[in-house]
Amino acid sequence: MSFTSLEFLCFLPAVTALYWLCPQRWRWAVLLAASYSFYMSWVPWTGLLLAGTTLLSWLAGRRIAAADAKAVRRLWLALGCGGPLACLALFKYADFALETVGADLVLGLVLPIGISFYTFQTLSYVVDVYRGDLAPEGHLGYYALFVSFFPQLVAGPIERPGHLLPQLRADHQPRWADFCQGLVLLARGYFKKLVIADYFALLADPVFAAVGEANGPGTVAAAALFAVQIYCDFSGYSDIASGAARLLGVELTENFRRPCLARSVRDFWRRWHISLTQWFTDYLYKPLGGSRRGRARQVCNMLVVFLVSGLWHGAAWHYVVWGGIHGCYLAAGLLLGGKLPRLPLPERLNGWARRLWVFLLVCLAWIFFRAETVGDALTLLLALPTELEGCPVTALGADVLAGDTALRSVTLQVGLSTVEDGAFRGCTALEEIVLAGMTPSDCLVGQGLLEGTEATIYVEEAQLTAFRLDYTWSQYAGRIAAR
C-alpha cells in the first residue's frame, strides 16, 4: 500500500474519520492498528521485525533509566542500539558485504521497507534516554506508535521522540486549519511525485539505462533532470507524510527547505533531508568529536559521516562514493573558509551564480547516486568531454571551428545546407567527420575543408560512390570512406 496507490487514498480518509470519532483514550490504539496494517500490507512478516525492534528498544530505555550502575546502563545501551543495528545490517547490508569480500554465498533476504528510518528513530530514543535528555516512555502502546506512525514510517522524516511522542499523547481537537493545511500538503506532494518526478524519470532513465550509448549533452540533461526528479520524489513523499499527519492533528518535522536556493554545499545540507542531516549531526558527527578537536579531525569526521550517509541510502558502492563526494565538498568548503570567488556582477547576480555553481556540483554527485554502478557513473563522466567534442553541428560557417586543436570528431546532420571554405582549417587533432544520414545533395561543401588535418569523411555505405562522384565532394574522394 504505497502513498500513490488507490488503497491508500481509501485508507487515509477511513483512518482519519475513525480517529476523530474515537474517544481520546483509544486514539493511540486506532493509529497503532492502522500503522501496523499499513506496514504489513507490503510483507506481513516484517511486522514481527518491527514489533521486536520496538519492544527491545523500549525495554532498553526502561532499564537504562532504572539502573544506577554505569556498566548496566552501558549494557542496555549496547543491547538497545546493537539489536536494531544488527537487524539493519543483516537485511540491508549482508549481501553487499558478502559480495564485497568475494564470497559465493547470497542470502537474498527481503529488505523490510522503512527499516532504515525506524531503526534510526529507535536509536535516537535509546541514546536520548541514556544521555538523560529524555525520560523513558512508560506506555508501550504510545512508544510502539512513535516507532510505527504510518505517515512517516516508510519515507521519513526521521522523527525525534521529544518531538513526536508528546504530540501522540496530546488531546487533539479537530481544527479546520489542520484539515486545510493537510489537504494542501497532500495535493502538493502528489503533484510533485506523480506529475513532476514520474515524468522526469521517463526522460532521465533511458540515459542511465544505456550508459554506453550516452553522449555529453544527454548526460548533462539527464543529471539535471534527475536532480529535479529526486527532489520532487523525496520532498513529495515528505509532503504527503506531513499532510496525512496534519489530518490527524500531528505536525511532522520539516524535511526539505528549498534546497535549490542553497548558496553552498553546506547550505544545501541544511535544506536537504533535514531530519537525516540533524540525526547524523547529533548521533555521529558530534560523538566523533565534531569540530572540537582541530581542523584535521573535523575534516575526517565530515568524511566519515557522509560515507556512512551514502551507505544508509543504499547498499552499494556508488552510494558510498556519492556520500564521499559530498564529504569532500564540505571538507573543501571548510578548508577554503566557505568562500567562493566573486564575479564582477551585482550582489544579486553573484548570489544566483553561487546557486548555479552549487547545483552543478550537486548534479555531478547525483550521477553516482543514480547510476547502477560506480563504473557506469565513470562511463557517463568520461562521455562528457569526448561527446562535447563530437556534438552534432547544425550550421557551419567559415572558420567557425578553425584552429581548434582539441577537436577530434564532428557529426554533420541532415539539415546542414552548407559547409563553407576552411571550416576545419588547422584542426590538427580532427580524426573524423561523420555525415549522418546525408546524401551529396543535402549539403554544399567549400574548398580547404580538410586542410591541415588527417581527418577521414565517413558516409553511409550506400552513399559512398555517390559522394566520390559528386562534383563538390569529389575533391575529397580519396578521404571518403564508408561507416
Give the Cα separation of 367 and 322 in Å (integer).
8
Q: Which residues contact 155 (CB under 8 A, 6 or more apart)?
A: 3, 114, 117, 234, 237, 238, 241
Q: How far is CA 447 from CA 123, 409, 444, in A?
A: 74, 19, 10
Q: Identify the active-site residue in 139, 163, 273, 313.
A: 313
- Percent helix, strand, coil in the chain, to 5, is 65, 5, 30
Which residue reads 550506400 in cell numbers? 462
Please tell me whether residue 418 adopts helix, strand or coil conformation.
strand
Opening angle at CA 54, ends 52 and 60, nearest 5? 100
**Which letter does DSSP use for residue 112 in this model?**
-
Determine how many CB atoms are found less than 10 A away from the CB of residue 279: 23
Q: Which residues pair with 481 in a beta bridge?
A: 458
- Phi and psi, residue 175, nearest 5°: -125, 135
Residues in the chain: 483
Q: Which residues pair with 458 in a beta bridge?
A: 434, 481
In contact, 116 and 312? CB cutoff 8 Å: yes
Give the Cα separation of 334 and 261 in Å (integer).
20
Complete DSSP assignment for 294-339: -HHHHHHHHHHHHHHHHHHH-SSHHHHHHHHHHHHHHHHHHHTTT-
Is 139 part of the annotated catalytic residue set? Answer: no
Which residue reads 506532494 in cell numbers? 189
In contact, 432 and 453? CB cutoff 8 Å: no
Give the Cα separation of 53 and 401 in Å (integer).
65
Q: What single letter denotes the amino acid at residue 356?
A: L
Strands, sheet with 480-482, edge to edge from the N-terminal-most edge strand: 392-393, 409-413, 432-436, 456-459, 480-482
Residue positions annotated with a catalytic role: 313
